[in-house]
Amino acid sequence: MTQQRVLVTGGSGFIAGHCILQLLEQDYLVRTTVRSLTRESAVRAVLADAGMVDGDALSFVAADLMSDEGWAEAVNGCDYVLHVASPVHPGNVKDENDVIAPARDGTLRVLRAARDAGVKRVVLTSAFHAVGWGHPQTDHTFTEDDWSVLDGPGIDAYGKSKTLAERAAWDFVTAEGASLELATILPVAVMGPAMGQEISGANHIIQRILDGQMPGYPNLWIPIVDVRDVASAHLLAMTATDAAGQRFLISSGPAIEVKQIGAILRTHFEAAAKRMPTIPNVLVRIEALFSPEFRSAATDLDYVKKISNEKARRVLRWQPRNSEDAVIAGAESLIEKSLVKN
């Protein structure tokens, strides 16, 4: 039987790296994109350090989301595409179009190339930011039927970019996709084993707590998912018959408070974790007037966003780790790689 080939965009990324590892473990031929082939050796070294098997089945091609060059070569001969690459700039940015344009235009560029190459299905990495931002604070449970409100409270450029990119993807497939199938994965805050020397996703929260950089614990609730489970959801959505045309919210379970994350770290890494007091909400609101770091957080103080992962469990037969496992794995990797202070 001929091995199937999968393109993973943005091979140097956190989620993309774990997708590559799992694809190789499952005997796929994998091709990945980097902006310059000078990055190939570094990316291979990171993947090898993370336990990559059969590196000979992995190849690289140069392609940039803001240019057409390289994408025809990247998708040529591929059965599936996991489009993971996207700019990540949470918080305020000087010009939100610097985030929105690469996400939206890059997604459409990949979809056009995939359609033209006869790719069967694209799995797009979206985010909970495309679902749960800009809404009034109610007891609502978010599902795949929800979309973020672009002019609502608390939504930032990153949230807008993920929302607009995903909407553009669905519109494209409906109007111009021909036989191309699409599924989207919408993870919440991603933690888990770091790749190389980069701290990505919500592992920044772990790193700041362990380093003592966080001035205290704001009354914020964080929904968490392990990066390994995000990757497995991509692979399941790639081949599951009923996944075509579907969005999938990916969360380990109920959101947990930032101070609970701190408690987990103190329990398992007492020597590394520093104990800090809770920040009074009023101080976070005052700080939000001046600091981009707190501006979006201030709108969600004391608000627990309820999220359903029922669809992913039912359609994909997806079984995630619990949130504590993701926190512990993320911390272990940061400590092992000396990415936190002693």
Asked if residue 135 is part of any domain, the answer here is: yes
**Quick one: pLDDT at residue 84?**
97
Give the CA angle between residues 145, 149, 151 to the nearest 5°.
170
- Residue 281 banded pLDDT, cuts 50, 70, 90: low
Query: DSSP alpha helices (H): ranges in the chain?
Result: 14-25, 40-49, 71-75, 97-116, 157-176, 203-211, 227-239, 258-268, 281-288, 292-295, 310-316, 323-336
- Residue 99 banded pLDDT, cuts 50, 70, 90: confident
Asked if residue 137 is part of any domain, the answer here is: yes
Lowest mean pLDDT among 188-197, 235-244, 285-294: 285-294
Q: Determine the Cα–Cα distance for residues 6 and 70; give it in Å rounded to an integer.
A: 16
Question: What pTM did the predictor assign?
Answer: 0.92
Closest by alpha carbon to 330, among 275, 272, 277, 278? 272
pLDDT digits (tens, 9 = 90+) for 110-131: 999 999 999 999 999 999 999 9
Asked if residue 315 is part of any domain, the answer here is: yes
Q: How many domains does the chain have?
A: 1
Q: What's the helix, strand, coil split of the chain in %, to 5?
A: 45, 15, 40
Closest by alpha carbon to 14, among 195, 187, 186, 189? 195
Q: Report, as an integer, the average pLDDT of 19-31.
A: 98
Q: What tokens appear for 92 in the block?
A: 């305020």
Q: What is the DSSP letter of 276?
A: -
Closest by alpha carbon to 302, among 262, 251, 255? 255
Residue 232 identity: S
Residues annotated catalytic, as ranges: 162
Q: Is 244 exposed, middle or buried (0-12, 13-18, 19+ CB in 10 A)?
A: middle
Q: Across-strand partners of 62?
A: 34
Query: Which CATH number belongs to the domain containing residue 155 in this structure?
Result: 3.40.50.720
Asked if residue 342 is part of any domain, the answer here is: no
Q: Determine the Cα–Cα distance for residues 199 and 194; give it in Å rounded to an integer.
A: 6
Domain boundaries, position 324: 5-336
Asked if residue 341 is part of any domain, the answer here is: no
